[in-house]
Every structure is written in structure tokens, then in C-alpha cells.
């Protein structure tokens, strides 16, 4: 691998020649600009010029402070519009749950984002602002947006064309609020589902991750080299997190991959790098670095992985962004040294959300004292400007007609129907035992009196999971959507009788039972679990114990019991296999819960297949396999 890297590093340097070769001219022009205050926008504001010419023309007129400003990405809660203008800040983000102070509607978001974007255009050079959001399963921070199933469910659909359609719909809902960049998709392939980000990944196998990831990127950005690529109805995608996050010991979020550097290079060559190779070939223009370490070294300070592998071997010429405050985890004793390590490793854009002024100060000092070569600053700024030019930000009309038209698509019927289809196709039927002469699913459909048990049946926030309205997700009616019980009620009533109980009590007149159980919402480290912790909630376990007793008391042990599981990974259900006649894994379906009823009571059949191995005890990677990867029944099976 390292022989190839040398060749690709040289190729990458040639690709960036317009930036690196311009250094002497940059200095001379900057001195003249400082004296006169004049700016020549004739070339870099001319959309007919090629991108590299525009970059060189702009870079040659930038002061050191203006260059550093482009390398900053504060959180919107920690910066004002006046500060964007004063410091020439190049990018702003909204982290999970970071809504504008005025409210969480589309209008609130658009006003806040466009306020910041307009301020950037008032700077001396008029470089547009790049605004990023965590739209990881729809524009999920915004009230009323369509929330699609999380990636683990999308992988189970086996439908890459559908995933591309979801990318298109999400892009429209993101552009409707003025943002131009989503920090998605995640390209990890988890090897231990104890990891709290397992649901953000499509599969445990890299080839499937590559296939679904590139489809999502194509949907977000438009097809590479087409007329719609990165137009004003699409957004910049972000391949994340580079690299190795699914391989940490015990699945610990931000943990360590216990391999030597040579062993990890072999792992990359074995296929783990393929999702990034395909993403770059698909035209992805941003990559986010992972929090995790490899052989004890944080990826954010790993020069080999960023400069040699990503920018060298893979020939990536877009921008590399750090993760949320990740630079503060590096080995340097001081913040200044941590920033130097990140720049040297190849980080271009610093997502240091509240300490961005310190980043500016420290980078300036590092350059002036010679600890960071000016060439590294120029390279980073070139990459950032390249992405802005390629994405058409210099020609973007802030709050223009296209943006206004897209506001009608937020949470639209068309987008919700796509999400509903995704829910249908993501459902995996794991068990469908015979109950008398029928399968459990056939008996359920014919039953006239159905009992629906479990709090999660009417909990919209729970079925959406983490990264929904807030970072960790919330229970209850957090946004606009259809709960599982609402979907089932609409499908069966008034022809059938449907009743609901939280505690698992069965009535004498009941003919079939549906229970909804699983995990509560979580994100990232809060979702990490112990070896025995990958299981359903304590409240649901209590409900199932009551259900067993109630079935016995009523003498109804032979009544069909169909379980709907809500969760972000395979769950430990071994002790309930005798209780459940039917088991449906619904993952984290999002806002369109009626997609479940479409399959249970409609003409749709189960088509979903597992993209993860489901073990008897999922937190133990040595545990026997309960359901093989690729498993999934139909109603008749």
C-alpha cells in the first residue's frame, strides 16, 4: 500500500498545483491589497471561468486572517451575524438539536441561516458562507420535516434506488431552510453492535455500505457530471467518519482500533476503504474525520491516514472537516499544539464550535512563528474554496425563488409516501410460527379483535430514535407524523376491534396480540452498551412478564402474539422466543408508522433482509448466531 501512496501523493500535489505554485504571488498581491484596500472580483466572481482559475485569483488577494477565517466552522449558537462579517468566517453548522432561538419551523431556520449567509457576503471579499446540518435521516432537526428510517433500516430494504430517492427528498428539505451541506452519510461497517452508532450504518459488510452510501450521495448531490449535480435543489454530502470507527475494541464510540499501523493498512486494502473510494468516484466533495484512534493515535492527528491515504492514494481534492470539537481530544498538551497537529495531519476545516476565536488566534501564531507552513494554510483554503465554487455558492441567490419553492416540499405528501415505502421495505420478518393451521401473520390478519400492547406503539419520538429534533432524540410527540397504533387503527377499524394496553393485560375477547417493544432513543456514546446491555428496555421487560401471566390467567397461551421490535441494532430477545409467534424488526422507522400497518394488514409482503448478523446475545460477538445476515421471511414462510 505504501508504494502506491507515494505515487498518489505526487499526483495529489499536481492536482493542487494552482494553489501551491501561487504562494509567492499571493504574498505580493496581499501586501498590495493591504495598502490599497482594493479587491479585484472580476475573475473569481465570473462563473464562466474554470474553478482553479477562480481559486487562484481569490487566494492571491486574501490576507492571512481571511484565509484562517475560511478554516473556521463555529456552531450557530456561538456566533452572531456581526461576527461572521467581522472575522470572515467561512462556515457555520447546526449541531443535533441546535435550532434557532426564535423557534423550530422552516421559516425560523431559513431566517437564521440566511442572516448569517448575508453577513458573509458583506465582507471585503464577499466569500459565501457554507452552512452544514446533521440531516442524517431527513432534515431531522426541523419540526415537520419528513423523518426517514435510519440507515440500518434502509440497508434492510435492499433497494438502492429508493435510498437515492430519499437523498433527493432530503436534499430538497435541507435547501428549503437555506443550508447547503449535510453531514451524511455514515460509511462505517460495525463489527460490534454494542456501538451506539450502529443504526447510522447500512450494513456490517463494506461492499453493501459502499453501494448504499454512493446511492445516498448521488441523491443528495445529483448525479456527477449531470446538469443537476450540486444545483440549488441538491446539497453537498459528507462521507464520514474517516476511518475505522466500526472496529474499535468492544464497539466503544470514539474508542481505539487495536491494530498495528501495518495491520490497519491491510484492513483498509481488504475492503474497508472501498466505501470512500466509491464515494469519491461518485463525486462526494467533503469527508469528515473520525473520533476514533488507530493503534492509540487519533485519526485527527494521523498524517498517514488523511494526507497519504485520503488525499494521496484516493486523490481526494475536496475539503476535510473535523468532527465536533474533536481537535480537543488530540495528544498535544496545549490547544495550540492540538491545532498544529490537525493542520499537519490534513484537516482543512475546523468544527471547533465555541472556541473558534481561539482557533483563529492560534493558527495565526503558528504561521507567524513558522510552526505551520503557509503552504498548508493555502492548501486548506484552496480545498474549501474549491468546494464552494463547485457547489455554486458564489452564484447562489439567498432566500431566492428556488429556496422559497422548496419550502412547500418540507414534510410534503410526496416525501412522506417515499418514507412510508421505505418503512414497508425495511421490515424484516424474523419469525412466523404456525398457530393452528395458519402462520402467525395470517392469523393476525384474520383476527377480528386485536389487542395492541406497549407504550412504544404510540410514541412517535421513540420510533424516530436519535438525531430527531434533538441530538439524543426524545420520546413522545416530538414532530408531525403517524404512530404505529395510528397506522394500525386506520388500517383495521371499524371492521375490526382494536384495543390498547400499556401493561400487557389480555382480555377474554381478544383473538390476537401485537406488542411493540425495543430500545429508547439515543445517539453516539449514550448508545454504547455493555456486553449484556443490548436488549429491550426495562419497562418493556416488565410488560412482557405481565403479558405472560395474563395469557396464562386467561388460558390463551395458544393465541397468536406478534412482536414489533423498535431499535437501532439486533436486540437480545432469546428469552422471549417462546412467547413470540411472530417477530418483526422495524428498526427506527421514522415518522411514517403506517408503513408497518401496510404490511401487517395490507397486500404488501415482507421483503426486508438483515444486513447485520443477529446473535443470540448480540453484545457478545462469540455468541451463537440466531438469525444469519441476509435472513428474512415472507408472510407465508
pLDDT digits (tens, 9 = 90+) for 537-558: 999 999 999 999 999 998 988 9
Residue at 116 is within a domain: yes
The model's pLDDT over 83-136, given as tens digits with 9 standing for 90+, comes to 999 999 999 999 999 999 999 999 999 999 999 999 999 999 999 999 999 999
- Which residue in this structure is represented by grid cell 498538551? 333
Residue with cell 418483526: 584
Average pLDDT of 305-316? Answer: 97
pLDDT at res. 16: 45
CATH of the domain at 436: 3.40.50.1700
- Domain boundary residue among 398, 428, 460? 398
Cα distance between residue 267 and residue 270, in whole Å: 5
Q: What is the DSSP letter of 96?
A: T
Assign 15 a pLDDT band (cuts: 50, 70, 90): very low
pLDDT for res 556? 87
User: What digits encode the pLDDT tens for the residues 466-510?
Assistant: 999 999 999 999 999 999 999 999 999 999 999 999 999 999 999
Question: Maximum distance among all alpha carbons in the chain?
Answer: 92
Q: Which residues pair with 321 in a beta bridge?
A: 288, 349
164 and 308 inside one domain: yes
DSSP assignment of 75-91 equals BGGG--HHHHHHHT--E
State what percent of residues in the chain have pLDDT above 90.
Answer: 92
Question: Is pLDDT above 60 for 32?
Answer: no
Question: What is the per-residue pLDDT for 1?
Answer: 43
User: So which residues are the catalytic ones?
Assistant: 323, 524
142 and 290 together in one domain:
yes
**Alpha helices, DSSP H, located in 229-373:** 261-267, 274-282, 303, 335-345, 356-368
Q: Is residue 623 helix, strand or coil?
A: coil
Strand partners, 497: 449
Domain of 389? 2-398
First-to-last C-alpha distance (Å) of the chain: 47
**Does residue 512 sit within a domain?**
yes
Rg over CA atoms, the chain: 26
Please tell me the predicted confidence (pLDDT) of residue 36.
52
Position 403 in a domain: no
The grid cell for 158 is 435492499
At 137, list the grid cell.
435521516
Contact present, 258 and 295 (Cβ < 8 Å) = yes
With beta carbons less than 8 A apart as the criterion, state whether 90 and 129 touch.
Answer: yes
Question: Would you say residue 319 lies in a domain?
Answer: yes
54 contacts 386 by C-beta, under 8 angstroms: no
In a domain, residue 404? The reply is: no
594 and 467 inside one domain: yes
Mean pLDDT, the chain, integer: 94
- Does a structural domain hold residue 636? no
Same domain, 321 and 179: yes
Confidence (pLDDT) at 8: 36
Closest by CA position to 186, among listed 209, 161, 156, 154: 209
> How far apart, in whole angstroms, are the C-alpha atoms of residue 553 and residue 410?
49
The answer as to whether 406 is a domain residue is: no
432 DSSP β-pair partners: 582
Cα(242)–Cα(419) distance, rounded to whole angstroms? 28
Residues 340-364 have pLDDT tens digits of 999 999 999 999 999 999 999 999 9
Mark whether 526 and 609 lie in a shared domain.
yes
d(CA 16, CA 51): 12
Q: Over pLDDT 70: what percentage of the chain?
A: 94
Give yes or no for a contact between 621 and 615, defined as CB atoms under 8 angstroms apart.
yes
**pTM for this one?**
0.94
pLDDT score of 432: 97
Categorize the per-residue pLDDT at 19 as very low, low, confident or very high, splitting at 50, 70 and 90.
Answer: low
In the block, which residue shows the cell 493591504?
34
Alpha-carbon gap, residue 288 to 495, rounded angstroms: 52
Q: Based on the domain organization, do 436 and 517 belong to the same domain?
A: yes
Contact 248, 292 (CB under 8 A): yes
Task: Please give the pLDDT value at position 2.
Answer: 40
Cβ partners under 8 Å of residue 226, min gap 6:
none
Do residues 328 and 424 both lie within one domain? no
Same domain, 20 and 130: yes
Query: Taking residues 371-392, what's their average pLDDT?
Result: 98
User: Within this chain, do residues 517 and 420 fall inside the same structural domain, yes or no?
Assistant: yes
Which residue, of 337, 369, 398, is where some domain finishes? 398
Mean predicted confidence (pLDDT) in 314-323? 98
CATH number, domain containing residue 274: 3.20.20.300
Cα distance between residue 606 and residue 498, in whole Å: 23
Q: Does one domain contain both 439 and 365?
A: no
Dist CA 67 CA 22 (whole Å): 14
Model confidence at 441: pLDDT above 80? yes
What are the C-alpha distances in Å from 530 to residues 18, 617, 619?
51, 11, 7
Are 382 and 418 in a shared domain?
Answer: no
Counted domains in the chain: 2
Helix (DSSP H) and strand (DSSP E) numbers for the chain: 23, 19
Amino acid at each position: 500500500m505504501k508504494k502506491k501512496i507515494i505515487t498518489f501523493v505526487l499526483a495529489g500535489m499536481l492536482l493542487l498545483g494552482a494553489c501551491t505554485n501561487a504562494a509567492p504571488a499571493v504574498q505580493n498581491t496581499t501586501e498590495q491589497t493591504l495598502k490599497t484596500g482594493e479587491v479585484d472580483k472580476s475573475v473569481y466572481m465570473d462563473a464562466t471561468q474554470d474553478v482553479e482559475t477562480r481559486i487562484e485569483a481569490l487566494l492571491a488577494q486574501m490576507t492571512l486572517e481571511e484565509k484562517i477565517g475560511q478554516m473556521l466552522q463555529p456552531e450557530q449558537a456561538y456566533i452572531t451575524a456581526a461576527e461572521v462579517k467581522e472575522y470572515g468566517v467561512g462556515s457555520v453548522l447546526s449541531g443535533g438539536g441546535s435550532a434557532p432561538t426564535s423557534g423550530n419551523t422552516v421559516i425560523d431556520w431559513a431566517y437564521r441561516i440566511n442572516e448569517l449567509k448575508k453577513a458573509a457576503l458583506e465582507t471585503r471579499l464577499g466569500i459565501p458562507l457554507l452552512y452544514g446540518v446533521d440531516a442524517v435521516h431527513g432534515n431531522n432537526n426541523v419540526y415537520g420535516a419528513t423523518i426517514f428510517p435510519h440507515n440500518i433500516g434502509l440497508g434492510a430494504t435492499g433497494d438502492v434506488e429508493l435510498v437515492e430517492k430519499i437523498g433527493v427528498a432530503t436534499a430538497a428539505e435541507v435547501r428549503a431552510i437555506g443550508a447547503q451541506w449535510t453531514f451524511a452519510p455514515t460509511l462505517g461497517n460495525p463489527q460490534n453492535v454494542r456501538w451506539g452508532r450502529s443504526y447510522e450504518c447500512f450494513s456490517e459488510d463494506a461492499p453493501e455500505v459502499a453501494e448504499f452510501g454512493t446511492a445516498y450521495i448521488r441523491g443528495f448531490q445529483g448525479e456527477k457530471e449531470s446538469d443537476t449535480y450540486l444545483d440549488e435543489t441538491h446539497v453537498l454530502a459528507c462521507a464520514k467518519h474517516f476511518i475505522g470507527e466500526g472496529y474499535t475494541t468492544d464497539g466503544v464510540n470514539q474508542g481505539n482500533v487495536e491494530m498495528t499501523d501495518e495491520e490497519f493498512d491491510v484492513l483498509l486494502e481488504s475492503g474497508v476503504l472501498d466505501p470512500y473510494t466509491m464515494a469519491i468516484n461518485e463525486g462526494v466533495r467533503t469527508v469528515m474525520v473520525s473520533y476514533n484512534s488507530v493503534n492509540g493515535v487519533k485519526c485527527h492527528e494521523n498524517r498517514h491516514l488523511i494526507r497519504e491515504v485520503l488525499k494521496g492514494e484516493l486523490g481526494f481534492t475536496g475539503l476535510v472537516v473535523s468532527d465536533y470539537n474533536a481537535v480537543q481530544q488530540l495528544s498535544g498538551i496545549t490547544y495550540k499544539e492540538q491545532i498544529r497537529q490537525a493542520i499537519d495531519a490534513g484537516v482543512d476545516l475546523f468544527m471547533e464550535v465555541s472556541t473558534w476565536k481561539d482557533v483563529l488566534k492560534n493558527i495565526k501564531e503558528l504561521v507567524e512563528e513558522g510552526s505551520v507552513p503557509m503552504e498548508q494554510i493555502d492548501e486548506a483554503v484552496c480545498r474549501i474554496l474549491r468546494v464552494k465554487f463547485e457547489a455554486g455558492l458564489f452564484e447562489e441567490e439567498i432566500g431566492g425563488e428556488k429556496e422559497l419553492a422548496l419550502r412547500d416540499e418540507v414534510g410534503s405528501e410526496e416525501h412522506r409516501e417515499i418514507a412510508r415505502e421505505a418503512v414497508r421495505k425495511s421490515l424484516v420478518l424474523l419469525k412466523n410460527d404456525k398457530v393452528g393451521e395458519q402462520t402467525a401473520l395470517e392469523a393476525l390478519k384474520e383476527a377480528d379483535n386485536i389487542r395492541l400492547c406497549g407504550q412504544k406503539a404510540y410514541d412517535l419520538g421513540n420510533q424516530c430514535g436519535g438525531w430527531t429534533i434533538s441530538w439524543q432524540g426524545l420520546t413522545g410527540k416530538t414532530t408531525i407524523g403517524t404512530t404505529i397504533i395510528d397506522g394500525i387503527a386506520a388500517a383495521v377499524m371499524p371492521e375490526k376491534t382494536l384495543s390498547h394496553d400499556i401493561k400487557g393485560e389480555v382480555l377474554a375477547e381478544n383473538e390476537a396480540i401485537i406488542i411493540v417493544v425495543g430500545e429508547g432513543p439515543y445517539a453516539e456514546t449514550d448508545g454504547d452498551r455493555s456486553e449484556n446491555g443490548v436488549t429491550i428496555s426495562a419497562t418493556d421487560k416488565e410488560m412482557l412478564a405481565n403479558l405472560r401471566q395474563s395469557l396464562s390467567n386467561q388460558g390463551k397461551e395458544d393465541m397468536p402474539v406478534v412482536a414489533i421490535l423498535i431499535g437501532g441494532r439486533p436486540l437480545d430477545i432469546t428469552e422471549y422466543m417462546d412467547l413470540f409467534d411472530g417477530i418483526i424488526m422495524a428498526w427506527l422507522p421514522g415518522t411514517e408508522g403506517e408503513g408497518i400497518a401496510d404490511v401487517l394488514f395490507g397486500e404488501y409482503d415482507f421483503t426486508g433482509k438483515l444486513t447485520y448478523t443477529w446473535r443470540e446475545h448480540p453484545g457478545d460477538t462469540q455468541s451463537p448466531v440466531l438469525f444469519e445476515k441476509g435472513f428474512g421471511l415472507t408472510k407465508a414462510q
